[in-house]
Chains A and B, each alone.
Chain A
Amino acid sequence: MNQHGTNGRHGGTSELDLRPTMLLRNVRVVDPDGSENGNRDLLLRDGVIEAIGVRLDAGGAPSIDLEGCAVLPGLFDMHVHLREPGGEDAETIGSGALAAARGGFTGLACMPNSKVRIDQRAVIDLVLNRAREGCGTAVHPIAGVTVNLDGQQLTEMMELKEAGAVAVSDDGFPVDSSEVMRRGMEYARMCGLPVLGHCEDRALKGKGVMHEGYWSTVLGLRGIPAACEEIGIARDLALAALTGVRFHVCHVSTRRGVDLVRQAKQRGLAVTAETAPHYLTLTDECLRTYDSSFKMNPPLRTWEDVQALRAAVLDGTIDAIATDHAPHTPLAKDGELDLAPFGVIGLETSLGVSLKALVHEEGMSLEDLVRRMAVAPRRILGLPGGSLRIGEPADLCVVSLDEEWTVDPSHFASLSRNCPFAGWKLRGKVLLTVANGRTTHATGELASSADSDRAGRGSLQGDVNMVSRS
């Protein structure tokens, strides 16, 4: 069975086959925006949530006991790099969509810094078309603030929004000129688009490779001081206050970055923020073996920063968890650390790592985790969803809460392997993902049930991405 088709086209399987009919029994419903929470049965018919309740009648649908599992609204990753168009050897829209499905995500937003930038309508059309050919994960493009992300000329944001862009960002290539950034924010505000800021003083970063501190000194690697991020956030928050735009701080990695966001919120600015699972778990010391799987920008910081970030996610200062999934081929990533590109992948480990860092270690509620991983990202981008609504197409994932698994990047659906969590034992495994009524990932018993109406053609076995059948 093909584990990652080049673009996720599905051959002989018709759309209807992928719309699950089954009764999920004894499952813990975790839906902060819903009325039914706690242990329930959930009945899916042709991809639609027909009922949520106690001791439901299966009405002929296959019924599966899911004691120990939770059903969550489909997760949403608002910060993903899909590489297509232009970097298809590292990831395609199809493979990224599959990786997302495996991770429990039903939707994602992709950053515009593919080799061919998302800065004009044709590229948005291409992304959306490719996404439609894929497994069913919703893909929402983010357009550049400036053409070619070179910080000079604003993109045609109004048209880009009409074409489907949900936000603008020059992620990876932050607008250096405060003047251009100001105009970009003013224009985005007019268009009703949020600006997602990769906040960084690039001159101060220079040729930095890792966080500047004790470990950069020991390892002899050029440092990226925390001040790089603090200056970037402070500037962009000042401009957000000036322009009134909805501003979102990407990948906060520092303690003082958190403080700046907190203060801005207290002042009443329309500001939101995200951080990534790796900033909640790893520190700069991880680089001591010079493994480029720990090289990303912003860089891994210190344990103090990790603790401040966890606290900020717990108290809501940080609204969203996003992966900054940044695939690179082994060829690009292998070799001398200072020459390797920044970035790590995260779609297939995000939930497991977040459960560990926040729920298991910090006692965060599952409801709050769902807020950070499913609800807030959609709200920030002005998208509906993030709840389990009766009568509507299911958009959910089922997680076996106590099931342990070992992270093995060689089995990822992502085309890349630059994962900093290889070998980690995580608790909480995604068994089923249904995006907008379509099964996008199913494993074990759920795979065969999801496939029940095709029983004549043999049932699926093992871990299966539904779309990969042909």
Chain B
Amino acid sequence: MTFRRQHLLGLEDLSRNEILHILDTARSFRQVLERPVKKVPSLRGVTVCLAFYEASTRTRLSFELAAKRLSADTMNFSSSGSSVQKGETLLDTIKNIQAMKVDMVVIRHSSSGAAHYLSRNVDAHVINAGDGFHEHPTQGLLDLYTMRDRFGNLDGVRVAIVGDIAHSRVARSNIWGLVKLGAEVTLVGPQTLMPAEIAKTGVKRVTNCLEEALETCQVVNVLRLQLERMTSGYLPSLREYARIFGVDTRRMEKAADKIMVMHPGPMNRGVEIDPAVADGPNSVILDQVTNGVAVRMAVLFLVWGGAPASEMGSEIALHK
């Protein structure tokens, strides 16, 4: 198959085959990253703008590295911190992007739908690097990649996602991807952070009981808890959250021996995850980071119009 999307805005509207195609392509790039020379010429002459309206060192660095490994030129545009003026800055960016003849834009923004909005208003290809609570498709894809690395096929694999589901774009992208690939998803979190009608997304189970989920699942993906959830009345205290929903060594004793522990980072050690678990034998958190670069290479490559995965030899060529 060929990947025909002009943009990557989310996993919700991708088909199972499209997702698998990205993951298969990422596998080829993952091999490139093990070589002494970790660079291919696939996107030579292509300009990628990294437009980050929200502070995010890791995602930006991961995309930047991915673009550079593909020989693309990158430019950074960040406007974090100060409050985003209504509409203006995003529209201004669009005009600047057009004027500078940028080919691809990777956007991170605090408003859900910002990537959709951008994609409707620029000629460039748009890749969503996280929009509000909506989606973070490349994080979802790298999580899927990491799980596939272990399980091969995700059909029937039992995955728990733990934490603030309501405000998590990572959770949403994971849910769509996992459900499409046949995994059985359990959502765990406090009721105040569980969004309306989440059960209709195709997840297997929604629960407030972490122990129960750990006992039955093969993967636990622990979400970052934004500390402002305390001050805005969703939770009584960090202490209570850690006590009920923190993934710690005591709870891990009840889990399967080989349960895979994931976290999208950055972690609040001692809140949603105990350091001993984060750095322990079950953790694949650093693998996620490495895989992230390969997955983002694949996404940049395919959205730009790169060749289908099956036709790719060791030499990853540009198909455009």
A331 touches B112 (CB 8 A): no
Closest to B168 in A: A220
Count of B residues near A, CB < 8 Å?
27
Partner of B112, one of A332, A334, A338, A340: A338
Minimum-distance CB pairs A-B, first 9:
A335-B87, A290-B113, A220-B134, A220-B133, A336-B111, A220-B112, A217-B195, A214-B197, A339-B86
Given the interface contacts A212-B196, A217-B196, A218-B201, does A336 sit within 8 Å of B87 by beta carbon? yes
Q: How large is the interface on A (under 10, 10 to 19, 20 to 34, 35 or more residues)?
A: 20 to 34
Question: Quick one: CB contact mask for B96-115 with A, threshold 8 Å, 1 for yes?
Answer: 00000000000001011110
- Which B110-127 residues have C-beta < 8 A from chain A? 111-114, 116-117
A-side contacts of B91, CB under 8 Å? 334-335
User: In the complex, given contacts A214-B196, A221-B132, A340-B87, what are 8 additional A-B residue pairs having Cβ atoms less than 8 angstroms apart?
Assistant: A216-B195, A221-B113, A334-B87, A336-B86, A336-B113, A337-B112, A337-B113, A339-B86
B172 touches A338 (CB 8 A): no
**13 A-B contact pairs sorted by A residue (CB < 8 Å):** A213-B196, A213-B197, A216-B195, A217-B201, A219-B113, A220-B112, A220-B133, A221-B113, A221-B132, A221-B134, A335-B117, A337-B112, A339-B87
Determine if A223 is an interface residue (Cβ-Cβ < 8 Å): yes
A-side contacts of B116, CB under 8 Å? 289-290
**B105, chain A: closest CB distance, angstroms:** 15
**B235, chain A: closest CB distance, angstroms:** 16
Given the interface contacts A337-B113, A338-B111, does A219 sit within 8 Å of B134 by beta carbon? yes
Closest to B85 in A: A339
Question: Quick one: CB contact mask for A414-429 with B, threshold 8 Å, 1 for yes?
Answer: 0000000000000000
A-side contacts of B200, CB under 8 Å? 214
Closest to A212 in B: B196
Determine if B135 is an interface residue (Cβ-Cβ < 8 Å): yes
Determine if B12 is an interface residue (Cβ-Cβ < 8 Å): yes
A213 to B198, CA, bound (A): 9
Determine if B169 is an interface residue (Cβ-Cβ < 8 Å): yes
Partner of B135, one of A216, A217, A220: A220
Given the interface contacts A218-B201, A220-B172, does A336 sit within 8 Å of B114 by beta carbon? yes
A338 to B109, CA, bound (A): 12
B-side contacts of A338, CB under 8 Å? 111-113, 132
Determine if B131 is an interface residue (Cβ-Cβ < 8 Å): yes
Determine if B40 is an interface residue (Cβ-Cβ < 8 Å): no
A289 to B120, CA, bound (A): 10
**B12, chain A: closest CB distance, angstroms:** 7
Determine if B303 is an interface residue (Cβ-Cβ < 8 Å): no
Partner of A336, one of B109, B135, B195, B201: B109
Determine if B90 is an interface residue (Cβ-Cβ < 8 Å): yes
**A389, chain B: closest CB distance, angstroms:** 50
B-side contacts of A290, CB under 8 Å? 112-113, 116-117
Closest to A333 in B: B87
A217 to B200, CA, bound (A): 10
B195 touches A335 (CB 8 A): no
Closest to B171 in A: A220
B90 touches A220 (CB 8 A): no
A-side contacts of B117, CB under 8 Å? 290, 335-337
B-side contacts of A214, CB under 8 Å? 196-197, 200
B-side contacts of A289, CB under 8 Å? 116
Partner of A335, one of B86, B112, B197: B86
Closest to A337 in B: B113
**A342, chain B: closest CB distance, angstroms:** 13
- Which B48-103 residues have C-beta < 8 A from chain A? 84, 86-88, 90-91
Closest to B109 in A: A336
Closest to B176 in A: A218
B-side contacts of A218, CB under 8 Å? 12, 172, 201
- Which A300-359 residues have C-beta < 8 A from chain B? 331-332, 334-340
A217 to B111, CA, bound (A): 14
Partner of A217, one of B84, B109, B131, B198: B198
A454 to B143, CA, bound (A): 75
Question: Quick one: CB contact mask for B185-225 with A, threshold 8 Å, 1 for yes?
Answer: 00000000001111011000000000000000000000000
A221 touches B196 (CB 8 A): no
Closest to B87 in A: A335
Closest to A215 in B: B197
A338 to B111, CA, bound (A): 6
B195 touches A221 (CB 8 A): no
A-side contacts of B195, CB under 8 Å? 216-217, 223
Partner of A220, one of B84, B88, B131, B197: B131
Residue picked from A221, A223, A339, most chain B C-beta under 10 Å:
A339
A-side contacts of B86, CB under 8 Å? 335-336, 339-340
Residue picked from A219, A220, A340, most chain B C-beta under 10 Å:
A220
B198 touches A220 (CB 8 A): no
A469 to B198, CA, bound (A): 56
A220 touches B169 (CB 8 A): yes
**B120, chain A: closest CB distance, angstroms:** 8
- Which A201-254 residues have C-beta < 8 A from chain B? 212-214, 216-221, 223, 225
Given the interface contacts A218-B172, A220-B172, A290-B117, does A337 sit within 8 Å of B111 by beta carbon? yes
B-side contacts of A223, CB under 8 Å? 195-196
Residue picked from A331, A336, A338, most chain B C-beta under 10 Å:
A336
